[in-house]
Structure 1
Amino acid sequence: MLVSALLTSVGINFGLCVLFFTLYSILRKQPSNYDVYIPRLLVEGTSTRRSGFNLERLIPSPGWVRRAWKLSEDELLSSSGLDAVVFMRIITFCLKIFLVAGIIGVFILLPVNCTGDQLEGVDFVDFSNNSLDVFTISNVDSGSKRLWIHFSAVYVVTVFVCYLLYYEYKYISSKRIAYFLSSKPQPHQFTILVRSIPVSAGNSISDSIDNFFREYHPSTYLSHLVVRRTNKLRNLIHDAKKYYKRIIRLQSNPTQHRYGCNNCFGLFGRNVDLVDHYEKKLEDIEENVRLEQSDVSLAGEEIPAAFVSFKSRYGAAIAFHLQQSINPTHWVTEQAPEPHDVYWPFFSSSFMRRWISKLVVIVACILLTILFLIPVVVVQGLTNLSQLEGWFPFLESILTITFVSEVITGYLPSLILMLFLKTVPPVMELLSSIQGYVSHSAIERSACIKVLWFTIWNIFFATVFSGSVLYQVSIFLEPKNIPAKLAVLVPAQFINVYAPKYETAGKFWPTVHNSMIFSLVLMHAIAVGIFTLKKLSLASTLIFPLAILTLLFNEYCRKRFLPIFTAYPAETLIKKDRADENDAALAEFLDNLVTAYQDPAFTPIHFSSNDGLHSPLISSAEV
């Protein structure tokens, strides 16, 4: 990539950054947009709509950035949970690394690179059209003692990153324990999910569960709730919500056309009031929902999976960690997610089906990664002007225009690549949802890991092998990416917008730690290759101990901190159980625990105006 193309890309993105910043500053102040920018505050009643003209609303202001970062960690913890705190620490962690690495790169390594021999042939009069390669380590003489500065930089960055990783892992681990000890009793702390339940002849799944846990966990077993197939019921509820939204939309806009024909083509038949038409359909669907709820409950549409609750957290932990059966594919246990975190649509009925689903997802991810190489290679071709002219000869006259060529080679590749990348996260989330996970948080963690590996192989390795790695500089230097990240992750899109649906207590951090360790080892491997090409074999040899020490550090962290993110220790569980023994509300909590994991599909829906349809045909206790 040429310097001029890079500067053009930076200029375009900086202009877009200013534009988006201005639009956000203005639009967030408009009362009509409060539902978008501060829905959480509206629901909680801490903010109200203010009507009337106000000139200040039309003037962009940067004060929201300062207020967003002003929030203390304790305030963020109390309002949005430990996950929000961990996400913020991830941001500050990355900024610290970027700051230190940036200082070393710009003020130490860049001057060293500029002293190489290749700069002798550079035409400084036409500097903007020279390649960026003159600023890289490739410009340093082979065998030069100045390469030891790069060697030292590798060691300094590695030590600094490992220090930060250790500090963050230790800090978040302690916060996770403190957060657990200060929390009120939660259903998922007393509950496990049991799948692949064997059923003997003449017994129901519910009977098998009750008999098994009363025999092998008699002192701690409390209750259970069998999972049922509710796919048809969910489809009906989805249709009911769809018609309800249509009715609300028609009623909220009196000027909207409310009449239509009662046939599918709209050509024949009499006009009907759409609101009345949809309300009748909604009543029919609600009646079908009540009937289906009754059929599913009474007909025994059970699958061999259940949420089993215990009288103490320690009792639930024992049942989770111990293998329950001689056959490890029976009575498979896992930690229960929070009730609101449960992903109900997918409850596999067998160990084999879950295993096959994981295999299919792995194959699909590999195929997606391979297919994505096509746009990566095409994008790399755009960064090379001569190659682009060879692919598209009819564009030769247009590409002679300096600005056009700079936009195409400097800005267009990153734009195309980012547009393609936008499709990856939802696809990975879809694949994770069919992999057998039973919680939204587990699905999102799995999707994040898939996106991470996809990015590593397609955006880094594929870029290196298909073109110049310096193309990545244009991505990292795009100013518009900085406010985009901040707008999503600063303490405010937690306070003003998002009401957390679940809490994992910082379980995302080990993924960040592992990613950084992988990045460090990859940096060491690249350094070995570079020093070998530069004929500095001693430096290549001395990099190997650094990689080994990094892996040993990672193993220490896995032994020291990772178990805390997998499950809470017995010391913590027993301490928390003893603290709750004197809590008068614990008995009421255990009584309500029986129905805490009831499938929301069995909850009566209240959309139509017919009050007779609001009560279920059966009680929740029978479910």
Structure 2
Amino acid sequence: MILSALLTSVGINLALCILFFTLYSILRKQPGNVKVYVPRLVAEGILRQSSDFNLERLLPSPGWVKRAWQLSEEELLSMSGLDAVVFMRIFIFSLRVFSVAGIIGIFILLPINFVGINDSDFSDLPNKSLDQFSISNVNDGSKRLWVHFCAAYLITGVACYLLYYEYGYISSKRIAYFYSSKPQPHQFTILVRGIPATAGRSFSDSVEIFFLEYHSSTYLSHSVVRQTSKLRGLILDADKLYKRLTHLKSRRDSQQSFQRGGFLGLFSQRVDIVDNYEKKLVDLEENLRIEQSDVSLRGEEVPAAFVCFKSRYGAAIALRIQQSINPTQWVTEQAPEPHDVYWPFFSATFMRRWISKVVVIVATMVLIVVFLIPVVFVQGLTSLDMLEKLLPFLKSVLTIAFVSQVITGYLPSLILQFFLSLVPPVMKLFSSMQGYISHSEIEKSACYKVLWFTIWNIFFAYVLSGSVLNVFLDPKNIPSRLAVGVPAQLLNVYSPKFETGGKFWPIVHNSTVFSLILMQIIAIGIFGLKKLPLASSLMVPLPLLTLLFNEYCRKRFLPIFQRYSAESLIKKDKQDQDDPTMGEFFDKLVTAYRDPSTLRIGYCQTTGRNYSPLLSAADV
């Protein structure tokens, strides 16, 4: 790719960015779009639609950008929770790292790279290849390479300092958030799996007998998981029918409200579609209630249960101590928030969960391999010579300067981003099939999959694909090819459904450390190829120091994100002893982990879904 193609891509992206900002600024003011751009404020009753005409609505204004950045962390924490704060800290951390790296790269390294070879000049600069701005343009053994050596150490030092600062800052926020939060069901609850089957005794009875015997002073209640796959299917059908009925009522007219029944709608009288759907919905809801009653009273139990305790410390003790001599029985894990529970896999057998994990691993590997096709194609678009080989019929069009700049500079990134946009939802689907029992664990697993997918396909494969198209790739030459090829790469909407307390930050920390070590290993290879062995040798301690830094952070901060200390739990329990609302909280805790599919659903009585417990707490 030449410099002018890159600048064309930057210009197109900048123009599109301004266009989208302008459109957003105008569309967000229109009364009909209030539910689209600020649905959370509408749902909370903070903002209402206004039909009064105002000329200011038709003019773009940048004030919303300033207001978006003026929101303090305290306001964000109170409105959206700690996860939202951590998400913003991720943006702040990234901006700081890339600002430092960008300044060093653009104002120091790029000029040094460009003048690296003696015959480099500034004539015809727009048509210069980007290779002339990379370290590959610096002479072998040149003293200018020591600037790159210092830059590697400086960027690593800045990144590690910022990582340490953010880890400590978010850790303190996590502890403070725990102390200031109201009692939450998941703080008093654990999930028990592998409940042994006993002849003549239900799983519910086994749980009660076991915890009354071994945790009599702290045990409060339990809720056994039941087979509800059929219920979820009925609820899904009812949801679809209810949404379709609501849509028909919202746009009801004489032509759409009636249709003929019978074979192909030819021989029967016309019937009212809305009335027909309402009757079907009533029948479906009645069948659903009958099935719910049967499941709640006589449904098949699953060897898993949510066990609630009278204190956080009691739940923590039960969580961390092996409950049985047989480690495969009475297995405990931290319960997620009630709204965070992913119910489908509770009903799955051990064999199904194991097969699902294998299928997901194979499917992920297949996706990574298949994605090489668009990556190789996109890499070919960045080179005119290669593009003419792949698509010879475009040779005459590519002679037009602007067309060639758009195709080689902008089109590859557009195609690649399109394919990349499909990856996260696919990875989330794979993770949901892997046996996790919470939405947050599914999203964390999907994040790791997307991370590794990006590392392989967008980093290694994109760099190496040009060599794949031209010559046979010898695996022994991958380090040297990387060393040469890499220097040539460039509150109003969402309402949180669950809160993890900032548990996503370690993913950011680990991925940043991995990126630093990868950069350092590549730098070692570069200095070796550039015949600067001393710099290559002095780079060796840097990845080791980075690993030591990461290990220190793992020991110092990571445990805070995995579990709360006995000091924190006991302190919080003592604070709650004087809280008069704790009695009411424990009453609600008894039914907090009931499967939503066993709760009554009223479609026909109200315009929305109305939930009420099918059984009283005394029936548990």
Distance 1:184 1:14 in 2: 46
1:327, distance to aligned residue in structure 2 (A): 2.0
Q: 1:6-17 to 2 correspondence within 5 Å?
A: 6-17=6-17
Q: Which runs of 5+ in 1 are unaligned?
A: 477-494
Structure 2 match to 1:480: none
1:428, distance to aligned residue in structure 2 (A): 0.6
Residue 566 (structure 2) pairs with residue 570 (structure 1): yes
Structure 1 match to 2:25: 25
- Cα separation, partners in 2 of 1:263 and 1:385, compared to 1, 3 Å: farther
2:540 counterpart SS class: helix
Structure 1 match to 2:478: none
Distance 2:548 2:611 in 1: 61
- Cα separation, partners in 2 of 1:298 and 1:276, compared to 1, 3 Å: same
Q: What whole-Å deviation, never above 9, does each CA across 1:38-74 have from its counterpart, x for those lacking one?
A: 1111111111111121111111111111100000111
Distance 1:342 1:474 in 2: 46
Distance 2:177 2:126 in 1: 54
Distance 1:366 1:621 in 2: 50
Which letter does structure 2 place at the counterpart of 1:214?
L
Structure 2 match to 1:44: 44
- Cα separation, partners in 2 of 1:606 and 1:404, compared to 1, 3 Å: same
Q: What whole-Å deviation, never above 9, does each CA across 1:415-451 have from its counterpart, x for those lacking one?
A: 1111111111111101111111111111111101110
Which letter does structure 1 place at the counterpart of 2:404?
S
1:149, distance to aligned residue in structure 2 (A): 0.8
Q: 1:103-182 to 2 correspondence within 5 Å?
A: 103-117=103-117, 120=119, 124-182=122-180
1:362, distance to aligned residue in structure 2 (A): 2.0
Q: 1:188-587 to 2 correspondence within 5 Å?
A: 188-255=186-253, 257-263=256-262, 265-347=264-346, 349-351=348-350, 353-467=352-466, 476=490, 495-587=491-583
Contact 1:414 1:474 in 2 (8 A): no
1:115, distance to aligned residue in structure 2 (A): 2.1
1:352, distance to aligned residue in structure 2 (A): 5.0
Give percent identity, aligned residues only: 68
Which range moves more in the overlay, 376-385 or 159-168? 376-385
Which letter does structure 2 place at the counterpart of 1:551?
L
Distance 1:25 1:471 in 2: 42
Contact 1:261 1:271 in 2 (8 A): yes
Which range moves more in the overlay, 271-280 or 323-332? 323-332
Q: Which runs of 5+ in 2 are unaligned?
A: 468-481
1:340, distance to aligned residue in structure 2 (A): 0.8
Contact 1:605 1:614 in 2 (8 A): yes
- Cα separation, partners in 2 of 1:445 and 1:232, compared to 1, 3 Å: same
Which letter does structure 2 place at the counterpart of 1:273?
D
Q: What whole-Å deviation, never above 9, does each CA across 1:180-202 have from its counterpart, x for those lacking one?
A: 01111110000011112111111
Contact 1:383 1:471 in 2 (8 A): no
Distance 1:519 1:266 in 2: 63
1:358, distance to aligned residue in structure 2 (A): 2.5
Which letter does structure 1 place at the counterpart of 2:411?
L
Q: How many residues align?
A: 602
1:299, distance to aligned residue in structure 2 (A): 2.2
- Cα separation, partners in 2 of 1:108 and 1:474, compared to 1, 3 Å: closer
Q: What whole-Å deviation, never above 9, does each CA across 1:500-552 have from its counterpart, x for those lacking one?
A: 11010100000000011001100101100110011110111111111101000
Query: When the two structures are superposed, what TM-score results if normalisation uses the length of structure 1?
Result: 0.93
Q: 1:92-103 to 2 correspondence within 5 Å?
A: 92-103=92-103
- Cα separation, partners in 2 of 1:471 and 1:147, compared to 1, 3 Å: closer
Which letter does structure 1 place at the counterpart of 2:99?
L
1:497 counterpart SS class: coil
Which letter does structure 2 place at the counterpart of 1:90?
I
Distance 1:205 1:242 in 2: 34
Contact 2:134 2:488 in 1 (8 A): no
Structure 2 match to 1:482: none
Distance 2:618 2:221 in 1: 12
Distance 1:40 1:144 in 2: 59
1:269, distance to aligned residue in structure 2 (A): 2.1
Contact 1:192 1:309 in 2 (8 A): yes
1:289, distance to aligned residue in structure 2 (A): 0.6
1:227 counterpart SS class: strand
2:265 counterpart SS class: coil
CA RMSD of aligned residues (A): 2.1
- Cα separation, partners in 2 of 1:154 and 1:236, compared to 1, 3 Å: same
1:503 counterpart SS class: coil
Which letter does structure 2 place at the counterpart of 1:233?
L
1:467 counterpart SS class: helix
